[in-house]
Structure 1
Amino acid sequence: MTKHYTAYIDEAGDEGIGKLAAGPVGGQSRWLVLGACIVSRENDLKLPAWRDKILSRFPDKKSRDLHFRELKHEQKIVVCQELSGLPIGVSLAFSHKVTIPGTKWESIFKQKGYLYNYLLRWLLERVTMTCERAAGGDQCVLKIVFSRRGGTDYQAMKDYLCLMRDGNEVMRPVRSIRWNVLDIDTISVENHKKWAGLQLADCVTSAGFCALEPNRYGNYESSYARILRERFIKHNGSIFNCGITAVPSLWRCNIDDAQREFFESFR
């Protein structure tokens, strides 16, 4: 028997590291977050109905697609409460971009797409491992659906994944994507507005972004991600470094006490 899963992937923040925001206003985001919303084939068919049920909580909302940043705080809380009760898996990988300038990696990650693809590797290592484990010994297939981003070279992304699959990386990772689970040829790129799964992925990814990226007043809002706690995937009983992953590692991530407490709370 083959079990089928789909991971809808979105991002929050940007890749730029040339003009990082020194404060809460202006400049490029200090964090880039990639997030996955993972569902079984059976539940994949239910996503439009789940999305519509969430939207029904906001009858005055003009747009009938779900976009987290367009919601008010109290609406974002409701969305996360609704998502917390759904049979979905969530995994987020966070890159603290302030750790890149001045290092040997700066020239590499200034190249378009490199940071996104690097963070994607971290995310897929954890998502494919979780799907393989959930299959319980049965054959497992994971389909990836990306939310379309302007200017992204998806062929270059696939080439990078093929490079890893074929074992041609210069630096071998500690973990590995489960290539018996992920078929690169099935990857698709779709428009956010037309796919309920991508809209849910936007919500969970943005929820994580708000927990670490300062708002215009210099504050973080971690309540959204904390509401989703039960949806984050785990490894050996821990959400940290599976459902919630910091890049680079937590002790090298150059974060403040509030950000550290957020990460530590998911151990």
Structure 2
Amino acid sequence: MSAPDHEFIAYIDEGGDPGLRRVRPIDEKGSTEWMVLSAVVVSRAQDANAKAWVADICKATGQAHDQVIHFKDLEPEHKLLAAQSLGALPVRIFTVASNKKNMRRHRNERAERIPSRQWFYNWLVRILMERLTDWCLRYSQKHKLGRRHVKLMFSQSGGHSYSQTAAYHELLKIQGQSGTYLKKWVPRSEVMSMHLVEAHPHYAFAGLQLADIAASSFYQAVDNLDTGPCNTQYAIALEPRVAYGANNDKRDYGIVLQPTPPWKADISDDQKEIFQHYGYDFTPPRWAI
């Protein structure tokens, strides 16, 4: 079966790693405390401008010589410039941020029945897809577009099998059609196709470098182990383009915190700051006190 014609492209990158066996700061040596997955969604028509957008950002941040954005290598003032630039572009941004302390050594036996070595990564992809595909479907319906599918472009990272991700993508589509999951969010099968899933090196597509800005900005907002104290200014600069749902709420849509509910998340006050900015309330209900 050939790939359907697509209207949107979602460029996806990550911050942190999906390791669960040992997790800092519980373990002195281990994987990152957070795993962040971000998508920058652009229309097919606007995607033609992405290379010029990146060139402008590179020029503004002193990277004009190689025309490739490496957010982590930028000086703080240039990181802010890059984030502000992305926040002014005609894109939509989605982010899932998982604090992994409660997932340490966790096994999802149901997910493990599906042949995959990366169930946790795929689970985060699923959360991202639930919101992202909802937005694509709503947008295409509102504007009566002839095309509505979204193409997923992953930034290649060592240890991930993107063929497994594509297969999982198809499973989500089938489950969405059959109503397998009785929950608030389901991936919208109307805009999904396993034939529209690709993975490429970061430098190969300008859109992947935009996704790097988004993922790195939110990672630095929550991480206080590897990148220094939590720095929310970059993620806040993206606010104009962070997606909002049908109820005009960015919380649990454009920005998603795991675990849930938020008051159960074992995170510090500085880590809560970016989520509070986007509408999260960490006050436990009276019955839980």
User: More relative contact order in 1 or in 2 (CA 8 Å, sep 6+)?
Assistant: 1
Q: 2: distance between equivalents of 1:31 and 1:75?
A: 24
- Identify unmatched segments of 5+ residues in structure 2: 280-289
| Contact kept? 2:24, 2:101, Cα under 8 Å | no
Between the aligned partners of 1:172 and 1:189, the Cα distance in structure 2 is: 31
Aligned: 1:248 with 2:259? yes
Q: 1:258 aligns with which of 270, 278, 286?
A: 270
Check 1:255–1:169 CA distance in 2 against 1; reply closer, same or farther (3 A cut). farther
Counterpart among 59, 78, 94 of residue 56 in structure 1:
59
Which one of the candidate residues 136, 146, 159 is aligned to 2:154?
146
Q: Percent identity?
A: 29
Aligned length: 265
Displacement of 1:240: 0.8
- SS of the counterpart of 1:34? strand
> AA paired with 1:211?
A
Q: Which residue is equivalent to 1:223?
A: 233
Of 177-186 and 42-51, the range deviating more from structure 2? 177-186
Q: Distance in 2 between matches of 1:30 and 1:59?
A: 31
Q: How far off is 1:66 after superposition?
A: 0.4
Q: In 2, Cα distance between the equivalents of 1:164 and 1:214?
A: 34
Would you say 1:188 and 2:195 are equivalent positions? Answer: no
Pick aligned residue for 2:174 from 162, 166, 173: 166
The answer to whether the 8 A contact 1:67-1:199 is kept is yes
Matches of 1:211 and 1:60, distance apart in 2: 23
**2:55·2:64 contact (CA, 8 Å) conserved in 1?**
no
Contact 1:240 1:264 (C-alpha < 8 Å) held by counterparts: no
Cα RMSD, aligned residues only: 2.6
1:126 aligns with 2:131: yes
1:44 is aligned to: 47
The one of 111, 118, 121 equivalent to 1:113 is: 118
1:3 Cα offset (Å): 7.3
Where 1:92 maps in the other structure, the secondary structure is strand
Please report the TM-score for the alignment, with normalisation by the length of structure 1.
Answer: 0.90
The residue identity in structure 1 corresponding to 2:58 is: L
Q: 1:195: how far off?
A: 0.6
Deviation digits for residues 2-56 of structure 1 (CA, Å, limit 9, x no counterpart): 8711100111100112222228985321000110001111110000000001111
AA paired with 1:138?
A: L
Instruction: Name the CA distance, whole Å, in 2 between partners of 1:218 and 1:22.
Output: 14
Q: Please name the residue that 2:286 is paired with.
A: none
Contact 2:133 2:192 in 1 (8 A): yes
Alignment of 1:62-73 (within 5 A): 63-73=66-76
